[in-house]
Every structure is written in structure tokens, then in C-alpha cells.
Amino acid sequence: DPDGAKRFTLTLQTGSTEFRPGTVTAGTWGVNGSYLGPAVRANRGDRVRMSVVNRLPEATTLHWHGMRLPAKMDGGPHQMIEPGTTWTPEWTVDQPAATSWFHPHPHGKTAMHVYRGLAGLFLIDDPDGPRLPSAYGVDDIPLIVQDKEIDSDGELETGGVDRGTFGLLGSTILINGTYDPVLPVSTSLVRFRLLNASNTRVYRIGFADGRRFDVIAGDAGLLDRPATVDRVKISPGERVEIVARFFPGETVVLDSRGEPRRTANDIEEDDFHLLEIVAAAQLTPSPAPPATLGGPGRATTPPGARVRRFSLSGSEINGRDMDMSRIDEVVPAGAVEIWEIDNTTYAHNFHIHEVSFRILDIDGSPPPPYQAGPKDTVFLPKNANARLLVHFGPHTDPLTPYMYHCHLLRHEDKGMMGQFVVV
């Protein structure tokens, strides 16, 4: 725009998609296409203006997951977009570099809308950040991980999405909307931005040969320093950025392996092949990754921080279902609070809109270093509890709430969600 703002048009539409070459799957939805959407990209400090055009047969919303913005721009269940209309939020990006994303959030229908394919990345760059692999599609590769069920007539199977305890757990894994992808790489270091955009599945992602890699960022931004691991666990809504090293001419498989000790009545963690990576015979040497990344150091609890408690049961938070007309929590702008999440049942996770938080502890122990940075979603295995140090933003609106909820979309739709306003 003439004033320097960045304008994006995102059109939500129906379609059919080739997840596998030559096989058309009907019944998918996408953003500016037939499945998933473009990666939106903006710098810290940019003014962004969105036009979200709804060409679907039903009303929906588009939520900017991970974005810090005024509540009216958030795209939660109160910002419905009727079919044939356009929603035009705008805001100034003011937060650290991160891999965020967008997806619909209509109350009671999020699972189906996301499952059909409405989602995309929103990459926030900070020109003052550390030097990391950042050539998009070359050594900076997004990997959107999703599970689907595709029926024998080539239709997207949607039957189980809004049923049962966990909804549908698909047996077909798609990466960026592609089945069984192969990625050629040409540099010795490659950064992968992992997004779990599945409805329910939890993955433990690593390389089949057990090689170690560096985690550099979580949901809401860079870590303090790289954390070396051989697997990362990622539940729906979470993002993890990793940097892996490759050697000339090798073929390497990225996969997901279930926890060695699986607990009954938890989400099934099956084993999946995700991606085959083929390194070129000659690799361009990458500069060594920095020893420190610029993310915040150890989280410390301010004395006297207000504590709020949230108990998760089968599909309720603090014994209540989501009520669009009830404000559950009122938080002062800029507050730093401790939110204690106590899961009394099977697996859930917990996402808070607009904020960034640090995990202080899970079941009384500090989180693994790769999960110790800024986040907006935390996984809570069966009967686990977590303490979060939550940083609220400056945007006040006493009338328009933000959401907190389980990001297993079947649970969110069943009402495992609450509302808070910032005043």
C-alpha cells in the first residue's frame, strides 16, 4: 500500500487436490488454492492488511495463531466471515521472529475446517536477528505435518472428524499437502520449520538413523541457545524449528516414532515415515550456526505474580464448557501471570491466544531445553500438570475476548475452551 503497509489477500475456497501425483482427492478446502495456503511473511515492525475472502459454502473465521494483536483482529469465533464476504483485519507486527500460522476457528467447526485443508504459515522475520539458514525453499524449509484418511473412491474421509474422544486419527501422513515427499537439499545445514497442523495426532520427530540435530526455536520465537536432541515431540498447533546437518550424496529419512513407553488411554502414537531427504553430491558449505540465538534466558518468576488455575477434564475447563457470552478471566494489560494447568484425564494440550509463555515446569520438573523458550501451546500427557509463566500484551478491549483452549480440535469443538479479556 502507498503508506508502506503490506497487503495480503487470502481467499478461502473449495477444491480437489492431488496429494499423490495422478490421484485426485475431492472435498478439500484451501487458501488461494485447493489445499493449505501460501506462506505469509512479514518483518517485525510491518503494518499488515489482510483481506480474507470467504468463498466457502459456510461461515468460518481465520485466526492468526501465535500473532500478538488486538482482540478484534484475532480471528477467533467472534470474528465470523459469512460466505461471500470479506474480512479486513490489520495490525502492526510487533513480536520476535517466529513461525506462526493461520487457520479457521468457528466455534464447533474448527476440526472440520482445518481437516479439509484450511491452514498456512505466517513467518515473522526480524532483520536484526542472528544469521540462520533463511533461503526459503533452499535451506529454510517449512514442513506442515498432517494426518488424513482418504477413502477408496478418492474422497477425503471426514466421517470421524467430529466424533469420538479424539476425532479422526488418519493413517495417511501429508507433508505440505504431499504424500511421501522427497526433498533434494544442496547445503550442508538445512533449517526445517515444523508445524503440527493435525487435528489430534502427536508426533515425535527425528531422523531414522538417529542423528542429532539442533532445535533453534519453539512456537513463539528463538531459544536462548541451540538445544541438541535426537527427537522432538510436537502436538497440534505447536511449532519447532530445527537445523540439521547433511553429508554429500546421502539419503536420510525424517520420521516419527511413538514414545517407547505408551500409556493406556492416551493418544495413539504410531510410527510414520515423513520425508525422504536426498543430499546433492556436492553441498554448499553453510556458515556455522551461532552459539547464542538471542532468545530469552531462563524464565524467572516475578514475586507476587498472580496465579490462575485451570483444571482439564474430558472436555471441560474448570468444570465448564465454552460459552461464547461468558468472560472467564479478566487480565490486566502487560501482566505477567502464572497459569497452572492440571490435566485430570487423558492427553490434552493448552493454547493461549495473543500471549507468549514459558513453561516453568511439567509435573514439577523443568521442561527439556528445547521446550524452554517462548511458546503459545503446551502438551499435557495424561494426568500431567504444567506451570506457565504467561506474558500478556498491551492491547486492551474489555468487550472482545481472546481464547484459551485445548488444541486437539475435537476437544476444542466440544467446548474445551474459555475466554479472557485484556483490560
Beta carbon of residue 183, minimum distance to ligand C2O (angstroms, whole number): 26
363: region left, alpha or beta (phi > 0 left; psi from -120 to 50 alpha) = left
φ, ψ for residue 245, nearest 5 deg = -105, 140
Give the contacts of 325 (CB within 8 A, at least 6 positions apart). Answer: none
Beta carbon of residue 44, minimum distance to ligand C2O (angstroms, whole number): 21
232 contact choice in Cu ion, ligand C2O, none (CB below 5 to 8 Å, kind-dependent): none
What is the rounded CA–CA span in Å between residue 370 and residue 358? Answer: 11
Q: Which stretch binds Cu ion (CB under 5 A): 5-13, 145-153, 188-196, 398-406?
A: 398-406
Binding ligand C2O (rule: CB under 6 A), the pick from 120, 142, 221, 237 is 237
Binding ligand C2O (rule: CB under 6 A), the pick from 195, 317, 403, 408 is 403
**Residues 47-66 contacting Cu ion, CB under 5 A:** 65
Give the contacts of 69 (CB within 8 A, at least 6 positions apart). Answer: 89, 91, 354, 395
Site string for ligand C2O, 145-184 (x = CB under 6 A): ----------------------------------------
Q: Could you say whether residue 103 binds ligand C2O (CB under 6 A)?
A: yes
**Residues 57-76 contacting ligand C2O, CB under 6 A:** 63, 65
Give whichever of 79 and 187 is closer to ligand C2O, judged by the CB atom. Answer: 79
The amino acid occupying position 126 is D
Q: Which stretch binds ligand C2O (CB under 6 A): 41-49, 154-162, 166-174, 401-409?
A: 401-409
237 contact choice in ligand C2O, Cu ion, none (CB below 5 to 8 Å, kind-dependent): ligand C2O
Give whichever of 65 and 231 is closer to ligand C2O, judged by the CB atom. Answer: 65
The per-residue b/e assignment along 357-379, b for 16 or more CB within 10 angstroms, e otherwise, is bbbbebeeeebeebbbbbbbbbb
Beta carbon of residue 326, minimum distance to Cu ion (angstroms, whole number): 19
Total binding residues toward ligand C2O, as defined by CB under 6 A: 10
Q: Could you say whether residue 191 binds ligand C2O (CB under 6 A)?
A: no
Q: Could you say whether residue 353 binds Cu ion (CB under 5 A)?
A: yes
Q: Which stretch binds ligand C2O (CB under 6 A): 137-145, 239-247, 248-256, 400-408?
A: 400-408
Give whichever of 351 and 387 is closer to ligand C2O, judged by the CB atom. Answer: 351
Give whichever of 246 and 346 is closer to Cu ion, judged by the CB atom. Answer: 346
Could you tell me if 172 and 150 are in contact, meaning their C-beta atoms sit under 8 angstroms apart? yes
Give whichever of 114 and 227 is closer to Cu ion, judged by the CB atom. Answer: 114
What is the rounded CA–CA span in Å between residue 371 and residue 63? Answer: 24
Other CB atoms within 10 A of residue 25 CB: 24
Q: Could you say whether residue 116 binds Cu ion (CB under 5 A)?
A: no
In three-state secondary structure terms, 79 is coil
Binding Cu ion (rule: CB under 5 A), the pick from 411, 415, 420, 422 is 411
Q: What is the largest CA-CA distance in the chain?
A: 61
Give whichever of 39 and 138 is closer to ligand C2O, judged by the CB atom. Answer: 39
φ, ψ for residue 376, nearest 5 deg = -135, 0
C-alpha cell read off for 46: 510491518
Per-position DSSP letters for 168-209, written without gaps between them:
---SEEEETTEES-EEEEEESEEEEEEEE--SS--EEEEETT
Q: Which stretch binds Cu ion (CB under 5 A): 182-190, 265-273, 341-349, 393-401?
A: 341-349
Q: Could you say whether residue 405 binds ligand C2O (CB under 6 A)?
A: yes
Give the contacts of 268 (CB within 8 A, at least 6 positions apart). Answer: 169, 258, 262
What is the rounded CA–CA span in Å between residue 84 and residue 80? Answer: 12
406 contact choice in ligand C2O, Cu ion, none (CB below 5 to 8 Å, kind-dependent): Cu ion
Q: Could you say whether residue 239 binds ligand C2O (CB under 6 A)?
A: no
Let me know the angle formed at the C-alpha of 179 by 177 and 183, rounded to the nearest 5 degrees.
90
Give the contacts of 22 (CB within 8 A, at least 6 positions apart). Answer: none
Give the contacts of 298 (CB within 8 A, at least 6 positions apart). Answer: 224, 372
Footprint on this chain of Cu ion (rule: CB under 5 A):
65, 348, 353, 406, 408, 411
Q: Applying CB under 6 A, which residues contact ligand C2O?
A: 63, 65, 103, 105, 237, 351, 353, 403, 405, 407
